[in-house]
Structure 1
Amino acid sequence: MSTKDVLLGTAGRKLVTIDGEQDVVRLQPPASPARIAEIERELGFALPPELSELLRVSAGLDMEMQESLDLASIGPCPWEGPLGPVMRLIGDGAGNFWVLELHPGMETLGPVWFVCHDAPVLVYQSADLATFVLDYLRFFAAPHDGPVSEVVEESIQRVWTQTLDIPRARLLDSEDTVLCDFARRLDDGWFIRDLRRAKAGDGIPIGRFGPKTPLARAGLEFVFAYGSRTRTQRFKTWLTGR
C-alpha cells in the first residue's frame, strides 16, 4: 500500500488513548505550492516525488488528543542527532520525536527514527513512512501494542544500556569496506554501531558520554559512531554548557 493510500485511509479513523479518551484522525489541508517551494529552498534540493505528491494531497494528520503528524515540518535533527535535514513527523509529548531524514535522490520515504533525549538515544523505528503511520495509529487502538509501543516502552532503555558498539580499533582491518574506511577516519576512543540492517528497536546511545558526546557517520550509510570524553570534559560541560 502506498503512503498516499495509507494517509487517505486514516481519515475519520477513531482512536482510543491509553486513558480511554476518544479521538478522530483528520486530514490536514494540502500544502500550498508556495510552502513546497519554500521547503525545497530550505533544503537546497528537490523533495522526493512521493513526498511532493503527499503534500499536494495533505500536509499531515490532526488528532485532538495527540500531537499532529506533520509532513511539512523540515529542519535539523532534534537533539543534534547524527542525521541530515529531517522531516520532524510527530512528538511523543515529552520532547522526543519521530523523524525521517531527507536527502537528494532518495527513492524510499524512510526509514523513520525515534530521537530521544532521556535517555539520549537514536532508535530505528520503521522502514518507511507508510509503515510508521500504520504502526503509530496501532499504538492508539486496544491493546495499544506494536512496534511504536515497544520502542517507547522498552527499546530506549535497552539501547542506552547495550554494549554492542564496537571500538574502532577492532574494525581497522574489517573486510567490510564501509566499516574499515570509517574506522580509519576516527581516532582511538570512538565506538561504531552498524545499523544498516536494523530492525525496530535497534539504535545507538548518542549521549553516551554526556550532552556534548561527539558523533560521526559514514556518509549516508546507517553506520554511526560516538567518541569518548573524559570526566573532566564532561564536568566542564556540566558547568559551562560547552
Structure 2
Amino acid sequence: MCFFKTAYILPTSVQLAGDGFGNFWILDVNQNGQWGNVFYVCHDPAVIVKHSDSLTEFIKHVDEFGKKGKQSNLDVIHEVTVMDIWTKNNGFIDKSAALASTDEKLKSFAETLPDNFVIADLRGKPIKSGFAWGKFGPNIEKAKRHDTELIWAVEKIEKKGLLSRLFGK
C-alpha cells in the first residue's frame, strides 16, 4: 500500500513497485489514459525523481539492477540522486521567476498560485531530475499539479522563530 498521498502530486497514476521502506515507483498517466514517465517517490529524503521516460525503460532499469546492482540506474537514483536533490538542488524556482518567464504555460500556471508557492518544472528534463517535495514541510495536501504538464507547485511555509511560535506572531 502506498502511504504517499499521490493524488496531490501524481493525481492519475499507477503504483508499480515499492521498496518495503515507504518509497515507491509510480507510473504517471495523463488525463487521456496515456502512460508517461515513471517517478521514484521517496519519503526520506522527501523527493520525487524522474526515474524513467516510460514503463518500457523502467522495466529495462529493473533488469539492469539485477545485472549491475549498485552501478544500475535504479540503485543510483535510490541511493545517490535523492540525496543530491535534497541537499544540492531542490528543483524549485520562485513564483516571481515563473511569472517573469517567457514560457506561457509556466507563467499561466504561476498566475494561479498564492505567493508562498514554489514551482518545479520537469518538462524536457532528463531522468534523475526531480524536486524536494518535502523541503518546506511534510504536508503535501496543498500541492498542485498542472493539468497537462510536468509542472508542480508546493507551498513554501515560512519557518517562524521561537518567539513567534511562543507568542503567536
- Distance apart, 1:210 and its partner CA: 1.4
Match of 1:200 in 2: 127
The amino acid that maps onto 1:205 is A
1:139 partner letter: F
1:134 matched residue in structure 2: 60
Deviations 1:89-130 (A, max 9, x none): 1111211110112244244x3210011111111110001111
| Corresponding position of 2:163 | none
Q: TM-score, normalised by structure 2?
A: 0.83
For 2:104, which of 177, 184, 191 is the aligned residue? 177
Q: Which residue of 2 aligns with 1:110?
A: 36
TM-score (norm: length of structure 1): 0.59
Work out whether 1:124 is the aligned partner of 2:50.
yes
For structure 1, the 5+ residue unaligned runs are: 1-72, 233-242
Count of paired positions: 156
- The separation in 1 between residues aligned to 2:31 and 2:117, in whole angstroms, is 29
RMSD: 2.0
| Counterparts in 2 of 1:118 and 1:106: CA distance versus 1, 3 Å | same
**Identity, % of aligned pairs?**
30
Is the Cα contact below 8 Å between 1:190 and 1:227 reproduced in 2? yes
1:73-84 alignment, distance < 5 Å? 78-81=3-6, 82-84=9-11
Structure 2 portions without partners, runs of 5+:
161-169
Name the structure, 1 or 2, with higher relative contact order (CA <8 Å, separation 6+). 2
Q: Please state if 1:165 is matched with 2:68.
A: no
Over residues 9-36 of structure 1, what are the superposed CA-to-partner deviations in whole Å (9 max), with x where a residue is unaligned? xxxxxxxxxxxxxxxxxxxxxxxxxxxx
Mapped contact 1:124–1:199 kept (Cα < 8 A): yes
1:93 aligns with 2:30: no
Of 109, 116, 137, the residue aligned with 1:189 is: 116
Deviation string 1:132-174 (CA, Å, 9 cap, x unpaired) is 0111121121354222122101111111121441110122132
Over residues 184-241 of structure 1, what are the superposed CA-to-partner deviations in whole Å (9 max), with x where a residue is unaligned? 1112221111101121211111111111143112212101111111335xxxxxxxxx
Q: Call closer, same or farther: CA 1:143–1:152 in 2, change over 3 Å.
A: closer
Q: Quick check: 2:46–2:134 contact (8 Å CA) kept in 1?
A: yes
Of structures 1 and 2, the larger Rg is shown by: 1
Q: 1:127–1:172: structure 2 CA closer, same or farther, 3 Å change rule?
A: same
Regions of 4+ moved over 3 Å: none
